[in-house]
Amino acid sequence: MSLTDLTIGDYLEKQVRELPDHDFVVYPDRDLRWSFSDFNRRVDDLAKGLLAIGIGRGDHVGIWARNVPDWITFMFATAKIGAVLVTVNTLYRSFELEYVVKQADMKALVIIDSFRDHNYLDTVYQLIPELRSCQRGHLQSARFPQLKSVIYIGQEKHRGMYNTRELLQLGSQGDSEQLNAIRASLSAHDVINMQYTSGTTGFPKGVMLSHHNILNNGHFIGERQNFSPADRLCLPVPLFHCFGCVLGVMAALTHGTTLVPLEVFDPLMALAAVQKEKCTAIYGVPTMFIAELDHPMFEMFDLSSLRTGIMAGSPCPVETMKQVMEKMHCREITIAYGLTEASPVITQTRTDDSIAYRTASVGSVLPHIEAKIVDPETGAICAPGQPGELCCRGYSVMKGYYNMPEQTAAAIDADGWLHTGDQAEVDANGYYRITGRIKDMIIRGGENIYPREIEEFLYTMPGILDVQVVGIPDRKYGEVVGAFIILKQDVDLGEEDVQDFCRERIASYKKPRYVFFVSEFPLTASGKVQKYKLREMAVEKLGLKAAPAVEKA
């Protein structure tokens, strides 16, 4: 299978010719259905509308929105005119939004009204008071000198902002020849997507990705699931994240698969969407699948249409994987691993891999990507079964971090290898296992402890629904093990119960010194557990200070 050199816009046009009346985007909660040709017309109108207000090739357009239908329209419209879509985390607040609008040099910002308890409109007007008195498209902001337009997704009018209805109307009267000429001038290697890393350490970095990066990665992700136009993908993960816009949208585009997105994740809505649209695939992070399986109305839904999907974002508990395969009928579910800087997927299991491989590994490397595991200290290549840092090289490696040459050089070495910062092992058959972050490893008195190992062990204790293990500062040992546990409904366990369960089953240095029972874990908007926040919670609760490093004997 070779790589494509088509742009995203050209690939959409190809699918319109081959599948004009086939459903591409379906929102079952509002009975919205766009065929490939319907969607393409809307994309062209929006693209011409953006051109009409002065947005063109190379301009940065931010989008700060939950998974509303026109999120996807903006993704394709900006790609068709060579603008760079900057995806903004839906959980950002004013400080983070200010940072990313400035750092990304946004020329336009696309927003919705609100998300959960956060009013986006109020935040934007507070940061950009000039909006209330400026002419639309001619913003002069003291705080954001690059920003010229704010666009509201919806029909409502807000002072100083365009709305999508106006842009679509402008575009419907626009010049198609201009759009076609711009599209023809684009290169598949142009940057058209910029995603900010989760920012769990330091300030977020803008990862620059091209048509070539994400279109090809999406294609091979879909191949690993045997996608075709017969498939319908329930997509409850956020579009601002690679999981949504690459594993979801790009994999569907390249295979003619129907997208069934949810505006926000809700386990009941996901189950209902699968039943109503007879979805054959579903995506999610483990916490989403756990929520679906644990929902009191789970048994009421017919999920027999499901076949495959992806579980990714954080390590999957073995028992959860088995239940997804059996109770949700996803016998061909796959596990994918990657990071935004790799567009994002590096490895993925296949639909016909053994259950053992699909529960204990993250699969094998996708085509046209090289991978190796190296000793993080010496750079020497590790033997099969020996842990080290996973590195990759190939078409999927990002163009770099926007305006951060030093950080880019630290991530991608002189030979083009992207250093993931993840610790992994590979077996003799080329299947990879992620054993943790290099920096997540707990070092207790010189003993290396891998959180994933302890988590998998604790999942076997009756009554535990979910668990996360982190290192907690300790004056004697440097670090000790802390376990944060979510219990199953109506289960009553105490700290001593957990420690008793561990006492005869795992080495004493691996036993959790501290056990915390919580109702939920702090998550990024893409569903990843923020372990550093758990560590901070433990330090605060225990009244500790970070201990000095333990000296080796």
Q: What is the pLDDT of residues 464-482, one digit of tens each?
A: 999 999 999 988 788 899 9
The domains spanning 206-437 and 442-542 adopt the same CATH topology: no
Element (H, E) at 514: strand 514-517
Rounded average pLDDT over 196-209:
75
d(CA 53, CA 84): 16
Q: What angle do CA 247, 330, 11 make, to 5 degrees?
A: 30
Over residues 77-104, the pLDDT tens digits come to 999 999 999 999 898 889 889 999 999 9
CATH architecture, domain defined by 32-186: 3-Layer(aba) Sandwich (3.40)
The pLDDT of residue 197 is 83
Question: 3-state class of 191 per DSSP?
Answer: strand
pLDDT of residue 204: 83
Q: What is the CATH number of domain 442-542?
A: 3.30.300.30
CATH number of 206-437: 3.40.50.12780
Does the pLDDT value for residue 151 go beyond 70? yes
Helix (H) / strand (E) element for 111: namely strand 108-111
For the stretch 501-528, pLDDT in tens is 998 788 788 899 999 999 999 988 778 8
Whether the CB-CB separation of 501 and 483 falls below 8 Å is answered with: no
Q: Which of 213-217, 307-311, 455-459 is least confident?
A: 455-459
Distance (Å, whole) CA 262 – CA 269? 8
Residue 547 has pLDDT above 50, yes or no: no
pLDDT bin (cut points 50, 70, 90) of residue 117 is confident
Contact 160, 131 (CB under 8 A): yes
Which residue ranges make up each domain of the chain? 32-186, 206-437, 442-542
pLDDT over 60 at 12, yes or no: yes
pTM here is 0.87
Percent of the chain scoring above 90 in pLDDT = 80
pLDDT at 201: 44
Q: What tokens were used for 282?
A: 């579903």
Confidence band for 450, pLDDT divided at 50, 70 and 90: confident
Does pLDDT of 232 surpass 90? yes
Residues shown for the chain: 553
pLDDT band at 446 (very low <50, low <70, confident <90, very high): low
